[in-house]
A and B are shown apart, each in its own frame.
Chain A
């Protein structure tokens, strides 16, 4: 374990930025934290998390896939892929680190998404423990997410006056090597104390007892037709905010943009909450908002675990709790329909 003083953290950022692009949460003019490319003068935000999750780094909201140019009867195809260079994302919370595993299981299983894979390979993740969780946090509901000790290539802990680092992977070792001269070796007393402090807060979180046990693979029939979907979805706007802020939502659309003398084929995030999401040649098989709404939650709580060894498709980051315009969210859904089964 190594440490540096909190005052000198910008020197560490400077050192990393000499060789790699470095992104970290920085407060914008309105106080909302956004992952921003570090440069001199940018300060690491104190916010617990960003509204827009770091999934953008691996699965960006929009990306161009290829370009076609037409002249007469010829079509010329250009591969416009930029191979990613190594980059560092700093300050990722435990929930969001876990979200990358959930995305990996989708994008890295056969057929591998080479765009995603390349960025994943080039990304170095420095996570940071959560010294001040929010009331909306419920990462504890799910396995393998530890806010006191997040995963990632390097784990960091930020205390009042210092930042502590521990490497977890080879990429992490390389990162530590780079900042070696700016950090000093230390024992883990301070980190142990910080972990205890966080653990004590986690025990006080209002959603600490939320359980996902009622859900999981094989439960489609249990939940698909429960009448509660009607009232839960009654006022859903179908806006898709929940899916766009969610670190694990992974659906996309591939579209062609007509440039006048050719086509740019791009992909962009899509949302199961949208009315034309399931539109196909024969029509649309999800005609009501209730069906769309149900899909989002069934996917996270039943279908995803069914296909992925019981792992849930939610990491409890709480973004949908904080951002849904009607304050409807996965916790309310779990309590309403999961509670019923437990009774």
Chain B
């Protein structure tokens, strides 16, 4: 369902490598199957030609990799950014997390990525190949006699169904056409949770978070979590933990993380995408975004470089703490 093709991206990467503009390429690398794509650092045109992929399973957001990779690579690194990735890119720049001079950013359009779990829900297990015919995915499995056609829309990842912007907010060069910021229904689910009684809401999160295995994938994939030493990894922090010692701690990790990224989370959706236990972590962050929007006016982290997030800024217009408190009371 992508409009831009793999060949166009490969051609671009090869050209930029060959003329010396960049010395490495951050891109998606071919997997064992058609959906298990690995972010990779390509160093040569040959590697790009052989292993670079671009399809409906290229969800990984590369912005965060720039923090580590710009330090490792001599010269510039080429990064392909989908619209949502550009917000993370800007947010990281706002926080001075990588050297902009070392990056050549190419914005690429995205029609939405597929979620392999949704594909499995429809076609079942044993997926041996997935072909894209533009409108739908042709999925062959070990158990069905003929390939099953699934509509691209039906298997689109939640974050893409609720895409907030097709517009690139950062790039050196744009391929294809740029889109617009779009109205999305991304806060509907948050509103549904807000409408619950505190007990119902507690049960909802209790149930979701009880599956957490504290693997830290959500934190490690999150472009807003780039602390050199996470408080949860620091043996001297007194809260360092590798396991939720009890159900309180299990929630603490998520609550603290949500607070740490509040105002900085761009809602890129990586946390929920990578969670092995399908925990809808994006809902915690979206609650913060929704509150910030309602309390301080519309704010989109990463929309531009250098913006001051409402939580670290002060204006005389700011909401009085008492009003926040009252509203919290009404919700309860």
Contacts and interface: CB of A to CB of B under 8 A. Distances in A.
Looking at A52, A62, A257, A275, which has the most chain B CB atoms within 10 Å of its CB? A62
Looking at B124, B215, B233, B278, which has the most chain A CB atoms within 10 Å of its CB? B215
Interface in A248-287: 253, 255, 257-258, 266, 268-271, 274-276, 279
Given A29-B207, A201-B142, A206 B32 contact: yes
A234 interface: yes
Nearest to A138: B32
Contacts of B36: 321, 327, 329
B125 A134 contact: yes
A335 to B, nearest CB: 8
A135 B60 contact: no
A242 B260 CA distance: 25
B37 A327 contact: yes
B39 A326 contact: yes
Contacts of B213: 51-52, 61, 241, 244-245
A260 B37 CA distance: 48
A245 B276 contact: yes
Interface in A305-343: 321-323, 325-329, 331-332, 335
Those 4 A-B pairs whose CB atoms lie nearest each other, nearest first: A268-B243, A325-B274, A327-B36, A237-B220
Interface in B1-54: 31-33, 36-41
Interface in B82-137: 121, 124-128
Given A134-B126, A135-B33, A245-B276, A237 B40 contact: no
Contact of B221 (A134, A276, A325): A325
B244 interface: yes
Interface of B: 31-33, 36-41, 60, 65, 121, 124-128, 142-143, 207-208, 211, 213-217, 219-221, 233, 235, 238, 241-245, 273-274, 276-278
B41 A234 contact: yes
A62 B245 contact: yes
A204 B142 CA distance: 7
A29 B278 CA distance: 11
Contacts of A201: 142
A260 B6 CA distance: 59
Interface of A: 28-32, 34, 48, 51-52, 61-62, 132-135, 201, 204-207, 231, 234-235, 237-241, 244-245, 253, 255, 257-258, 266, 268-271, 274-276, 279, 321-323, 325-329, 331-332, 335
B142 A327 contact: no
Contact of B38 (A29, A133, A275, A327): A327
14 contacts: A28-B211, A34-B211, A51-B213, A62-B244, A135-B142, A205-B142, A234-B40, A239-B216, A239-B219, A240-B216, A241-B274, A325-B60, A325-B220, A325-B221
Nearest to B124: A132
Given A205-B142, A235-B40, A276-B233, 18 more contacts: A48-B125, A51-B213, A132-B126, A135-B125, A237-B220, A239-B217, A239-B220, A241-B213, A244-B215, A245-B213, A255-B241, A270-B242, A274-B233, A323-B276, A325-B217, A327-B38, A332-B31, A335-B32
Looking at B127, B208, B220, B235, which has the most chain A CB atoms within 10 Å of its CB? B220
Contacts of B125: 48, 132, 134-135
A271 B242 contact: yes
Nearest to A242: B215
Interface residues of A: mostly helix, strand, loop or mixed? loop
B211 A32 contact: yes
Contacts of A244: 213-215
Given A323-B276, A327-B31, A135 B126 contact: yes
B38 A266 contact: no
B3 to A, nearest CB: 24
Looking at B214, B243, B245, which has the most chain A CB atoms within 10 Å of its CB? B243
B133 to A, nearest CB: 21
A194 to B, nearest CB: 15
A192 B31 CA distance: 36
A51 B279 CA distance: 13
B29 to A, nearest CB: 9
Contacts of A255: 241
Nearest to B41: A234
Contacts of A135: 33, 125-128, 142
Contacts of B221: 237, 239, 325
Contacts of A237: 217, 220-221
Contacts of A279: 235
Nearest to A289: B68
A96 to B, nearest CB: 16
B231 to A, nearest CB: 13
A239 B215 contact: yes
Contacts of A234: 40-41
A241 B41 contact: no
B38 A328 contact: yes
Looking at B121, B211, B213, B241, which has the most chain A CB atoms within 10 Å of its CB? B213
Contacts of B274: 239, 241, 325
Nearest to A52: B213
Contacts of B244: 61-62
B174 to A, nearest CB: 25
A340 B194 CA distance: 56
